[in-house]
Amino acid sequence: MDGERAGPTPDRGGNPTRVVVEQQRSRWGTRLAWVIAGVATLVALSSLAANARYFQRDAPLAESWHSLSRTAPAKVAIVDVAGAIMGGEGFATAQLAQVRRDAEVKAIVLRIDSPGGTVSGSDEIHDRLRRLLADRDLPVVVSMGGIAASGGYYVAMANAGREDVIFAEPATLTGSIGVIIPHFDVSRLLERFDIADDSITSGPLKEMLSPTKTRTPELADRERAVLQALVDDMFARFKSIVKAGRPKLDDAALDRVATGQVFTAGQALEAGLVDRIGFLDEAIDRAVELAGLTPQTARVVRYQRPRSFVEDLLGTSIPTARGQMETFAELTTPRAWYLCSWWPALVASGR
């Protein structure tokens, strides 16, 4: 039987031979041990990465050479604004802080590839950039990528009204000057399942934009009037920002383009929303010129987000549970948007 040791048996020569039969070990036990060890390792690495990010929040961004002279002390910094613009301390804000600390930066190329984002997030980046340019007297040249619309165009207006500084690539989509507060009403759908929103509030307007609340016609009209007033006020600010960035646009010309419409690069050039059609390298050349530099005396640099040791080891970013909850809260919070999208509530943060 398995696990029992047989006694000696004689072989053909008469010599005793010992035969041992061992019980076969279960492979499932070994596999389970490896699975448990792997899961424990992943959990430990995730925790280590989260802690590394926590303790390195103020770490400087990595700077890399992009073009022109590799050894020139004077720098032209490319600042990227990519993806949806949300509120808070994001990558664009960190880049502007890095430029502020670096006295060798003599000009900025603002590289925008964004459909916009929240009203507050777009306004925050615009204000930070405007104050930086005023404090350091830095020229800024805008280079638009695939899309620089709504809040992306709003950020581009932080150019102090300077002429010949906004470049759009031939395939760029821009414009979309306007405001949207998304609202979806699923209350009638819930009624089919005999579900009612019975939330307790301090007043009838506390549940504005709730997708599950059944409203009387009078309350619905009252809410819409309040929200429309908010949109009108934010829209007026958007137009004032565009007027400051594009002073040659008179009121009539601004009203013609501030309809929420998206424009091609050619249409934007004709309407006065951009100055030139050109790529990033041409925007860099213009920034070098405005800074009083030459290709031999200017070093163009770009920034990268800092990564933890574990993220470098794994070759990818590790999302934390807290970060996922913050993103969920951002996306489900009713808010106004400078955004070129038909469904703002599902746009993830790229700022």
| C-alpha–C-alpha distance, residues 100 and 189, integer Å | 52
Helices (H), the chain: 27-55, 91-101, 119-136, 151-156, 187-192, 217-245, 251-257, 265-271, 280-290, 309-314, 321-332
Active site residue 206: yes
For residue 337, count other CB atoms closer than 10 A to its CB: 27
| C-alpha–C-alpha distance, residues 153 and 312, integer Å | 34
Torsion of CA 248, 254, 260, 263, to 10 degrees: -40
> Are 351 and 124 contacting, i.e. CB atoms less than 8 angstroms apart?
no
| C-alpha–C-alpha distance, residues 238 and 245, integer Å | 11
Q: Which of 47, 199, 206, 240 is catalytic?
A: 206
Q: Which of 114, 122, 143, 150 is catalytic?
A: 150
Which has the closest alpha carbon to 309: 56, 29, 18?
56
288: three-class secondary structure by DSSP: helix
End-to-end CA distance of the chain: 69
| C-alpha–C-alpha distance, residues 263 and 152, integer Å | 13
| C-alpha–C-alpha distance, residues 174 and 229, integer Å | 26
Burial code (b: 16+ CB inside 10 Å, e: under 16) for 54-89 equals eeeeeeebeeeebbbbeebebbbbbbbbbbbbbbee
Please provide residue 269's backbone torsions phi and psi, each rounded to the nearest 5 degrees.
-65, -45
> Are 79 and 111 contacting, i.e. CB atoms less than 8 angstroms apart?
yes
Q: Which residues are catalytic?
A: 150, 206
